[in-house]
Amino acid sequence: MADTTETTPPRATANRSTTPASDVFSDFISSNWAERDEVTPAPREQASYAAARRERISRLHPGRTLVFPAGDPKVRSNDTDYPYRAHSAFAHLTGWGSDTVPGSVLVLTPTPGGTVAGETPADEPTAGGHTAVLYFREGAGRDSDEFYANSDIGEFWTGPRPSPAHVTADLGIETRSLSELAAVLDGLDANALVVRGADREIADAVDATRTLLEAGSAGDTPSAPTDASVAGAGAADPGDTADAADSAADEHTDDSLARDASELRLVKDDFEIAEMRAAVAATAQGFDDVIADLPAIVAHPRGERLVEGTFYRRARAEGNTVGYDTIAASGPHACILHWTRNDGPVVPGDLILLDAGIELDSYYTADITRTFPISGTFTDVQRRVYEAVLEAADAAFRIVRPGIRFREIHQAAMAVIAERTAEWGLLPVSAEESLRPENQFHRRYMVHGTSHHLGIDVHDCAQARRELYLDGVLEAGMVFTIEPGLYFQPDDLSVPEEYRGLGVRIEDDILVTETGAENLSVHIPRTADAVEAWLAGR
């Protein structure tokens, strides 16, 4: 949790601080500053969408205070941090992205007179829902020493912060000073819920208040359980004999709040879909940049690093950053699924697998893979493997429409992978036999899944229940990847030598439409011929 005092001392730097401490200096640096014109912005486009999302989460947990921390920066070492990223639930529910003030907290407070879900027979949503307040550390005045002496948050060090009026207008949410938050957390009732994993101090503060209230009312009505008090409940055996009252209470835990915030994103709204299109368009430019840079990439002993750097340049120029660490996997590195060390050469004659996505300032990210021959032309065996993977991707895409189950996409892709690997003599049984659940021999060459939801997180909606995710039914507005691959490890004696060290993945970002599906990344060359033409045109 962020320090909520007015002026926060810098951490870990006092022993080497050279900041003058005299009153004379303090008076001098605090005076003679121009007034600033405050410009009130129009609400950003996502403000109304975020309000609708807050309304939906409000309906799921009526009568309970809901706390969504953005989180603090994560320390890299000493007083240097990793690039800041607000928690995804916070970003989704506020519309604040890369310009989030770190340490902010969204609090949804039930309007008075509402009922508490889980404690009423009908579990009815309250009529009035919740009131949203965003607590954040507003800009500090020149009357404190923060602006010049605090290297963590001071304006001279990390830039100015917006005023409450500015953020209220920008995001369409009532704002209050972060300095007021501690009293709010102290005053919570026992039914309050918090999204954990974003800000430990905030979660601890909510726990402390709930524990205090529980101790004071021991023997009374059970209060909202914390993660700690229901640990393992999510993984309970289906045959568990917990009574109905326990089940009802379990629906309103910190875990269920995180789950609901995740499931809220399974179907994207119009703003999110537009962002996904923009993220894919930017990513396409990044792939073009890599192709254009190939001569320099091939010439460098760590060409994979140049691939990563070229893509990153585009990501920073057009978006916020990369949505995940770029996988620039040349030659046999392509067989290492999460190869992000990227310190190898890029050698003509090999394939290079590039799995990369640009995240926009709203945090929405693409996740795209293309595999291409560094020389510009596929060899026979490379083309054979490439076309099998493409066939699997196309077979999976063809079945996508509202009403099918998410898991069917993987099954469609695996049918092709099994067929082709059997045809090449790699399996000890027929494709049909390999596809039996107890066999799955073809999975030796593709151990990962075919699809995952995509959005504000690269692996979006990760807390969603299995019945809504893997076993879920597709709806228009869902966005996910289709990303089959074939990977033949360099030392895999189960395949002829010509296959060893080849890794191919083709990954596209798919939008479910009312009538079927749209491949958002279809314009990035996909067929073997189109890929060769792409390389020839550089």
Q: Which does 44 bind (CB under 5 to 8 A by kind): ligand GLY, Mn ion, none?
A: none
End-to-end CA distance of the chain: 49
210 and 192 in contact (C-beta within 8 Å)?
Answer: yes
Rank residues 342 and 481 by Cβ distance to Mn ion and give the closer one.
481
Instruction: Kindly state whether residue 371 participates in binding Mn ion, applying the rule CB under 5 A.
Output: no
Q: How does DSSP classify residue 236?
A: -
Query: Sign (positive/negative) of CA torsion 410, 412, 413, 417?
Result: positive
Q: Return the ∠ at Cα 316 (arms to 310 and 317), rounded to 5°.
A: 90
What minimum distance in Å lies between the beta carbon of 366 and ligand GLY?
A: 10
Q: Which residue of this chain has its Cβ atom nearest to Mn ion in the complex?
A: 355
182 or 337: CB nearest Mn ion: 337
Q: Which is nearer to ligand GLY, 148 or 339 (CB)?
A: 339
Q: Report in angstroms how near the CB of residue 311 gets to ligand GLY at its nearest.
A: 12
Would you say 106 or 409 has its CB closer to ligand GLY? 409
Identified binder of Mn ion from the candidate list 3, 254, 367, 509, rule CB under 5 A: 367
Q: How far is CA 97 from the centre of its chain?
A: 12
* Closest CB to Mn ion among residues 210, 505: 505
What ranges in 355-447 are assigned the alpha helix state H? Answer: 380-398, 406-423, 431-434
Taking the least distance from each CB to ligand GLY, the nearer of 256 and 519 is 519
Q: Which residues 6+ apart lie within 8 Å of 47 measured at CB?
A: 95, 170, 171, 172, 173
Written as six digits, the tokens of 250 are 């379990």
397 CA to centre of own chain: 23
- The least distance separating Mn ion from the CB of residue 87, rounded to whole angstroms, comes to 21
255 binds ligand GLY (CB under 6 A): no
Contact partner at residue 371 from Mn ion, ligand GLY, none, CB < 5 to 8 Å by partner kind: none
Q: Give the residue with the Cβ less far from ligand GLY, 260 or 355.
A: 355
Min dist. Cβ of residue 512 to ligand GLY (A): 18
Shortest distance (Å) from residue 188 CB to Mn ion: 38
Name which of 16, 513, 33 is nearest 273 in CA terms. Answer: 513
Distances (CA, A) of 507 to 355, 370, 389, 392: 8, 7, 10, 11
User: CA 262, 263, 265, 270: dihedral to nearest 10 degrees?
Assistant: -160
Residue 218 structure tokens: 């021991």
Select from 324, 381, 424, 444 the one that contacts ligand GLY (CB under 6 A): 324
Find the binding residues for ligand GLY in span 484-513 (CB under 6 A). Answer: 507
Tell me which of ligand GLY, Mn ion, none is bound by residue 324, counting a contact when its beta carbon lies within the kind-specific cut-off of 5 to 8 angstroms. Answer: ligand GLY
- Looking only at the bridges linking them, the beta strands covering 66-69 and 105-110 are antiparallel
| Helix (H), strand (E) counts: the chain | 17, 17
CB neighbour list of residue 152: distance below 8 Å, 6 or more residues apart:
8, 10, 11, 79, 158
Which of 355, 419, 508, 509 is in the footprint of Mn ion by CB under 5 A? Answer: 355
Binding residues for ligand GLY, rule CB under 6 A, total 7
Asked whether position 367 contacts ligand GLY by CB under 6 A, the answer is: yes
x/- mask, Mn ion, residues 458-487, rule CB under 5 A, reads: -----------------------x------
- For the segment 450-489, give every residue that binds ligand GLY (CB under 6 A): 452, 458, 483
Smallest gap, in angstroms, from Cβ of residue 476 to ligand GLY? 23
Please give the DSSP secondary-structure letter assigned to residue 251.
T
**What is the three-state SS of 89-158?**
HHHHHHCCCCCCCCCCEEEEEECCCCCCCCCCCCCCCCCCCEEEEEEECCCCCCCCCHHHHCCCCCHHHH
Size of the site for Mn ion (CB under 5 A): 4
Q: How far is the CB of 367 from ligand GLY (least distance, A)?
A: 5
Tokens of 173: 């949410």
Q: Given candidates 152, 355, 457, 509, which one binds ligand GLY under the rule CB under 6 A?
A: 355
Q: Which does 87 bind (CB under 5 to 8 A by kind): ligand GLY, Mn ion, none?
A: none
| Residue ranges in contact with ligand GLY by CB under 6 A | 324, 355, 367, 452, 458, 483, 507
Could you list the residues that contact Mn ion (CB under 5 A)?
355, 367, 481, 507
